[in-house]
Structure 1
Amino acid sequence: MAPTTGSTRPMTIGILGAGNIGRPLGRHWLAAGHTVTFGSRDPGRLGPFVELLGDRARAATYAGAVEAGDVVLLAVPNPVLGGLLEQLADRLAGKTVIDATSPIGVSEDGLFVSQLGPGTTQGSWTAERLPHSSVARAFTHFPDELLWSRGTQQRHFWGMGIASGDPRARRVAEALVHDAGFVPVHLGGLEESAAVDPGGRLFGYVSTAAGLRAAAGLAG
């Protein structure tokens, strides 16, 4: 029987960006029974990678990955995100979108900061550009080099912060966090997700679900 916090049915997922975030998460979701299309500017270069993943994995253009997925993960480098969303906003309408990008910058004193500046979270920025999509924020504070190892070797031990005020997006994000091997910790709406943005108190923070809740100042 499927865990109550995980997926109860297979999903079709489009991943925009097949790098250090998109690849490990796609592999986790394929292992959980989902169908995954990896989107790239040059899908041909993904052929050797995708061929090893089985019949439920394929490569496509960014637009092709969006068309193939009911759920779309944004995992491209942040500098290209704005232009990509402008091109694909109509195609993303009606879909659940999980934003895993980071507007990362470094201050003069060497600290990580959000390039969006104070008062704007990455999640709310994305939702503003996708008014007809259900948007959630996830997979952004956890070091990407640990997404595969911690999600396979220590499944459902480590917490993963998510944010969304949209019930459908929250439900899907929690299920896919679980299917990737982590424990979802809901932090609130997108406007309340600064903790997982660069410079936020959870950015780069690795802990159990209880540890994340305590660090975020959440009860329980």
Structure 2
Amino acid sequence: MTGSANPLTIGILGAGNIGRPLGRHWLAAGHRVTFGSRDPGRLVSFVEPLGDRARAATCAEAVEASDVVLLSVPHPALGELLDELEGRLAGKIVIDATSPIGVSDDGLFVSLLGPGSTQGSWAAERLPGSSVARAFTHFPDELLWSRGTRQRHFWGMGIASDDSAARRVTETLVHDAGFVPVHLGGLSESAAVDPGGALFGYVSTAAGLRAAAGLSG
């Protein structure tokens, strides 16, 4: 994999099924990654083989060390985490990869936020001092490593943001993870990547994502 011409410092809050493969992709692209956890010691065996541009730290330390922060904790833990870190996240680009996932009585995935609200808009309201984007939310997490490694730049990844700088950085990191960024619009227009949305769990090319989301071009 080719190293990034402009390496970023990235904090990943939540080193699980989303944070770990994305962190590995970004390290391979030349970025510096801090994996944040309430218990950094449990990440030592994962982080040590990744090289000197990777380290484990507390969530607060990961935010302080980074210009870009990925939120990939389980959604039930997100509110408390943002209460703790809102001030530290001010001035940062924040990529929200969490999903407020629920299941309806008839067995369909739904957003716990209810109709008319998107996770992206919710996160932006909670973090008024940050530049928020949505990405890595609709793609099955168990495929983030394999599809981004073996079939690089074939599969589309939906993103959304109201901020041009956050959009550019997010598109770069989607590309560096091995996917093709597909901009869906602003955060209020990102329901397609939330649970129950047209793209949630959907894997396709960039053109396939645009078609499924009803975008032209």
Query: 1:47–1:59: 8 Å Cα contact kept in structure 2?
Result: yes
Matched, 1:152 2:160: no
Query: 1:7–1:175: 8 Å Cα contact kept in structure 2?
Result: no
94, 103, 106: which one aligns with 1:106: 103
Provide TM-score, normalisation by structure 2. Answer: 0.98
Structure 2 Cα separation of the partners of residues 35 and 8 of structure 1: 13
| Deviation, structure 1 residue 31 | 0.1
Equivalent residue, structure 2, for 1:178: 175
Structure 2 Cα separation of the partners of residues 118 and 8 of structure 1: 41
46, 70, 74: which one aligns with 2:67: 70
18, 23, 43: which one aligns with 1:21: 18
| Deviation, structure 1 residue 122 | 0.3
Equivalent residue, structure 2, for 1:219: 216
Query: 1:43–1:60: 8 Å Cα contact kept in structure 2?
Result: yes
Structure 2 Cα separation of the partners of residues 202 and 185 of structure 1: 11
SS in 1 for 2:181: strand
SS in 1 for 2:208: helix
129, 132, 137: which one aligns with 2:129: 132
7, 12, 22: which one aligns with 1:10: 7
Across the aligned residues of Structure 1 and Structure 2, the Cα RMSD in angstroms comes to 1.0
Q: Which amino acid aligns with 2:91?
A: G
Structure 1 Cα separation of the partners of residues 130 and 73 of structure 2: 18
Equivalent residue, structure 2, for 1:30: 27
Matched, 1:202 2:192: no
Q: Which amino acid aligns with 1:64?
A: E
| Deviation, structure 1 residue 8 | 3.4
| Deviation, structure 1 residue 165 | 1.2
Structure 1 Cα separation of the partners of residues 4 and 192 of structure 2: 26
Equivalent residue, structure 2, for 1:169: 166
93, 96, 99: which one aligns with 2:93: 96
Matched, 1:39 2:36: yes
Moved over 4 A (4+): none
Structure 2 Cα separation of the partners of residues 54 and 126 of structure 1: 32
Q: Which amino acid aligns with 1:65?
A: A
Q: Which amino acid aligns with 1:105?
A: G
Per-residue deviation, residues 55-99 of structure 1 (Å, max 9, x unmatched) = 000000110110111000000000010110011000000000000
Q: Which amino acid aligns with 2:128?
A: P
SS in 2 for 1:66: helix
Structure 2 Cα separation of the partners of residues 130 and 7 of structure 1: 28
Structure 2 Cα separation of the partners of residues 8 and 174 of structure 1: 14
Provide TM-score, normalisation by structure 1. Answer: 0.97
Structure 2 Cα separation of the partners of residues 77 and 216 of structure 1: 25
| Deviation, structure 1 residue 20 | 0.1
Equivalent residue, structure 2, for 1:61: 58
* Unmatched runs of 5 consecutive residues or more in structure 2: none
Structure 2 Cα separation of the partners of residues 48 and 202 of structure 1: 35
Structure 2 Cα separation of the partners of residues 163 and 18 of structure 1: 22
Matched, 1:81 2:78: yes
Q: Which amino acid aligns with 1:62?
A: C
Query: 1:7–1:176: 8 Å Cα contact kept in structure 2?
Result: no
